[in-house]
Chains A and B, each alone.
Chain A
Amino acid sequence: TQLLEQSPQFLSIQEGENLTVYCNSSSVFSSLQWYRQEPGEGPVLLVTVVTGGEVKKLKRLTFQFGDARKDSSLHITAAQPGDTGLYLCAGPGIYGGSQGNLIFGKGTKLSVKP
């Protein structure tokens, strides 16, 4: 069974701090995605990483895909209150993976205090 495990589950930090959240699996994924979900809203795609070792930057967010394509990390530099939300990683799953079904990690709930 493919599983994506995210850590930490909860993270509460002050504005301006740096943080890293992790997404790990024992399975190889052809790609991984990161979504952010704000309270009362649906998840919104942040990035897709496809190549082992790939690094993508989105303003203060840096995403890395592990060399073996089994893990990914999200690093936020100088966090701001607007970064508050639930961060989810996702990858193609066993339910008809060729049709684009995703399995999701349980998420990291980030709170950035002013």
Chain B
Amino acid sequence: NAGVTQTPKFQVLKTGQSMTLQCAQDMNHNSMYWYRQDPGMGLRLIYYSASEGTTDKGEVPNGYNVSRLNKREFSLRLESAAPSQTSVYFCASRVLPGQTPYEQYFGPGTRLTVT
């Protein structure tokens, strides 16, 4: 049981390049989330997927797109990377409905630098 996995762990991009961050969970969770973490800013929600087939914007969605590929996988795409997107990106998933609400399980993060 790996929990939430993310790839890659580190990435360096040049301004204007594109890339996709991958996330997968093996806990049969319905909801999945993408956050970014910046010094002094805490964790901010980029996009979320409440259930397979649905996605919605969070607090800071500009410059990003997401795909909920299936129940296990939720990817985050940067179409044209900008230095302001330099950050640590975390994927998370939520426990099954009916259990304690709102608790989320996080992956180990992707450290992205855009030059």
Contacts and interface: CB of A to CB of B under 8 A. Distances in A.
A106 interface: yes
B64 interface: no
B108 A100 contact: no
B74 interface: no
B43 A95 contact: no
Contacts of A30: 101
A35 B44 CA distance: 15
Given A100-B94, A106-B41, A45 B105 contact: yes
B62 interface: no
Interface residues of A, number: 28
Chain B: number of interface residues, binned into ranges: 20 to 34
Contacts of B102: 31, 33, 48, 90-92, 100, 102
B109 A99 contact: no
B42 interface: yes
Contacts of A27: none
22 contacts: A35-B106, A42-B108, A42-B109, A44-B106, A50-B100, A90-B102, A91-B102, A92-B101, A95-B57, A95-B59, A99-B48, A99-B50, A100-B31, A100-B94, A100-B104, A101-B48, A101-B58, A102-B45, A104-B43, A104-B44, A106-B40, A107-B42
